[in-house]
Amino acid sequence: MRVLLADDHGMVRDTISAYLESEGRAVVVSVADYVSAMKALDAKGPFDLVFLDFDMPGMNGLNGLSDAVKNHPNQAFAILSGTAPNRIAQEAVELGAIGYVPKSMGAKSLINAVRFMIAGETFVPVSALGGADGKPETEFMKKFSQRERQVLSGLCLGQSNKEIARGLDLQEVTIKLHVRTLCKKMNAKNRTQAVVIAKDAGFE
């Protein structure tokens, strides 16, 4: 697989490139800023996956992603970040990214995430969704444990049990049990109704 990695921190580029090359047997092209990434994409693309650092020079947050998706509609892009708030993950997917990967992700999980995205699936670790981000806890949220909130966030994003399990590094059967508990707590007949109830309550 061929991956373009754009990040302004040399250590991050070297570490992730080493992961992908040694464990994933990937060919990695790495650059330090957004402009260089677009030039590399024009000259050497398309790639199986392009990682764009949320905070690198020239990126301008999600504006860079939006422009990249617009100019390269058939290219798979993923956001890479160590500092972006949780809401950025969902916003990135809504803008056309195929995934969101925290820089803190371990080597094995990173390789699995990359393979998942290259297979055409959207990857967002559930741990990056549904966090408080400084928002006050609502009465609705108080009903659920932190793990249940993470699973519910995955449901609201439209993820399957398999995707949620992968993001949380849990077994799929465990996610099924959590979904069943969530439905019971919300008096929902199924996961679809649970999502409707959650969104009506302002859960994000």
Final residue of a structural domain among 124, 149, 167: 124
Same domain, 152 and 52: no
Same domain, 12 and 107: yes
**Domain extent for 56:** 2-124
pLDDT digits (tens, 9 = 90+) for 153-189: 888 888 889 888 888 878 899 999 999 999 999 999 9
Same domain, 191 and 97: no
Same domain, 85 and 120: yes
pLDDT digits (tens, 9 = 90+) for 76-131: 999 998 777 777 888 898 899 999 998 877 788 888 899 989 998 888 887 666 54
Instruction: For residue 184, tell me if it sits in a domain.
Output: yes
Tokens for 138, please give them. Answer: 């609502």
Instruction: For residue 132, tell me if it sits in a domain.
Output: no
Same domain, 116 and 145: no
Instruction: For residue 118, tell me if it sits in a domain.
Output: yes
Same domain, 20 and 86: yes
Instruction: For residue 57, tell me if it sits in a domain.
Output: yes
Please state the three-class secondary structure of the chain as a single string: CEEEEECCCHHHHHHHHHHHHHCCCCEEEEECCHHHHHHHHHHHCCCCEEEEECCCCCCCCHHHHHHHHHHCCCCCEEEEECCCCCHHHHHHHHCCCCEEEECCCCHHHHHHHHHHHHCCCCECCHHHCCCCCCCCCCCCHHHCCHHHHHHHHHHHCCCCHHHHHHHHCCCHHHHHHHHHHHHHHHCCCCHHHHHHHHHHCCCC
pTM of this structure: 0.66
Same domain, 158 and 183: yes
What CATH number has the domain bearing residue 178? 1.10.10.10
Nearest to 7 by CA among 64, 55, 44, 71: 55
